[in-house]
Structure 1
Amino acid sequence: MVLLGAVLWGVSGTAAQVLFQRYGFNPGWLVMVRMSSAGVLLLAGISIRLGLTHIFEVWKYRRDSLKLILFGIVGLLGVQYSYFASIRYGNAATGTMLQYMGPIFITTYVTLRNRRMPSTMQIVAVLLALIGAFLLVTDGNLRAFTVSPLAVFWGMISALTLAFYSLYPQSLLHRYGSATITGWGMLIGGVAMGVINPPWQFSGHGSLGTWGLVSFVVLFGTLIAFYVYIASLKYISASEASVLSCGEPLSATIIAVAFLNLKMGLPAMLGGLCIIVTVTILARKGSSD
């Protein structure tokens, strides 16, 4: 389940790259459609299974409501938009790899909050991630970026917001359930994006093929991917799931190289491998603590 979800996320990133770079779609518009549609469908499914009262429980408490709004706008909308913006200016493989720097920020925050020195393995993981990021964006060339600076900027923002949405909503997730909170977060983020980028302000070349890609991003790359990932947590730990979710950057890279003629040198590939190893080290460290 977790591998299927990760692969669907990776493939949807590549589909988004095609929409942005070949057909002129706007990342803000796609994020708005993706989040709003997935949020509505997710909440509808939960209400059918558990009832309407369950999904509206969070809105009874002002503090929880404010946390939910912040989570939806800063967390989910932030990570979705910055990830797609990174893909628009670069490619799906690089954008996904940079987003996987998120665990580094999580580790740094937890270390500072607990006022304890990081372990040797955590220090190694951070250094490995920094080396990996350097190789990924320069392809080993000390004098030039092989990836657009804007792609790198938005990729790092997506890593920061990934760390935020992983850490911030923990109390909400335990109290109301991950599916309900994520459903509302997606809907809130989609509505907020709609204020900036209304659905009628569409730009791009619309055709049967492009609308098929949009449908894939919404249904398979968002709704189904999230559902199977969450369902997998019934059978494996979150740490094990985070290791297996490395299938996302791998699938995004394989598809981009195979079908979009993405050129990646050996240093860039080694950099991506360093980042994946980093996630594995931190996840295993987390499971042993």
Structure 2
Amino acid sequence: MSGVTDRQIIHGFIKALLAAIFWGISGTCAQFLFEQRNMDPAWLVSWRMMIAGSILVTFAIARKNSDVWKVWLKPHDGIQLLLFAILGMVAVQFTYFYSISLSNAATATVIQYIGPVFVVGFYAIKNRRWPSVLEYTALIMALTGTFLLVTHGSFSELVISEAAVFWGILSAIALAFYTIQPVQLLKKYSAATVTGWGMLIGGLSFSLYTSPWESSGVWDMGTWAAFTYIILFGTVISFSIFLGSLNYIGAQTASLLCSVEPLSAALVAVAWLGVTFTGMDWLGTFIILITVGLLTLSKKPKRGVTTDQKSKII
């Protein structure tokens, strides 16, 4: 990228990697809250979105030449933002966290990473073209990796529950929708504005179902630490530093580096929570990550900025 120094490129790499690690650890913190503190996933999703959304909207307002209010001046854009908040943000957050509660952070995160395959399928149908050889290869690898992850190579049984597989795949589909739907909004408004409003509105609307005013789980120092981490490091800070990395290394490279997320989730889950990750699990994980790499490298840079920005805020 012209005008960018080697030092800035290094800073960009570090920011993108830190964002991915923060997201991975956030999923493991959620698993800790679900398994050891009996917290309801829907309750956590509501508070995560409401608090993080409020912080992001406040940051967006404080920015120079802020566009945080402009999105509401055009009815069509406002409606699209509401759809993104409810059908995109709420869906991707809840399906992901619920999938964690049914399995573990590592497995849920890896399964969600097949989402880009659904994005490829959507654009193939929309543009009325057959996927390329590279995209077909990625599809086969994604299916193979997922098969190994949920069956360990057996054709007769699953190693995680059917519900965990179902919600994990729903999470990947929700991620695809969440990536595609706001593309037009992101051409007009900043990612901070779209994401901040999406989280805040999504959290407020979801709270009608979750009753967040009623406490959930067992609260102690560990609960507060994990909850605070998810809000600050797993959402606000990770989002900010990821966007900061785009200025130096571009969305394509930053998105590829974010493949570290499921690896960090797996390593922390194994070391902290004692999750058993077998050789088949690791093999399935690496195959899916190779899939993400193939799809990322196949993108044209001009197409990748907006979709990659949005696909990482989970």
TM-score range, shorter chain: over 0.9
How many Å apart are 1:280 and its aligned residue? 0.0
Structural mapping, 1:1-289, within 5 Å: 1-50=15-64, 54-287=67-300
Q: TM-score, normalised by structure 2?
A: 0.89
Per-residue CA deviations over 1:28-72 (Å, capped at 9, x if unaligned) read 111011111111001111212236x73111111111011000001
SS of residue paired to 2:300: helix
Q: Which amino acid aligns with 1:54?
A: D
Q: d(CA) in 2 for partners of 1:6 and 1:136?
A: 21
SS of residue paired to 1:116: coil
How many Å apart are 1:257 and its aligned residue? 1.2
Per-residue CA deviations over 1:186-218 (Å, capped at 9, x if unaligned) read 001101111101212222101122011101100
Match of 2:307 in 1: none
Q: Which structure 1 residue ranges, 5 or more long, are not aligned?
A: none
Q: Which structure 2 residue ranges, 5 or more long, are not aligned?
A: 1-14, 304-314
Per-residue CA deviations over 1:110-145 (Å, capped at 9, x if unaligned) read 111111111111101100000000000111222211
How many Å apart are 1:153 and its aligned residue? 1.2
Q: Which amino acid aligns with 1:17?
A: Q
Q: TM-score, normalised by structure 1?
A: 0.97
Is 1:140–1:268's contact at 8 Å kept on the other side of the alignment? no
Q: CA RMSD in A?
A: 1.3
Q: d(CA) in 1 for partners of 2:60 and 2:281?
A: 42
Query: Number of paired residues?
Result: 288
Q: d(CA) in 1 for partners of 2:48 and 2:139?
A: 32
How many Å apart are 1:235 and its aligned residue? 1.4
Q: d(CA) in 2 for partners of 1:158 and 1:202?
A: 26
Is 2:67–2:190's contact at 8 Å kept on the other side of the alignment? no
Q: Which amino acid aligns with 1:135?
A: L
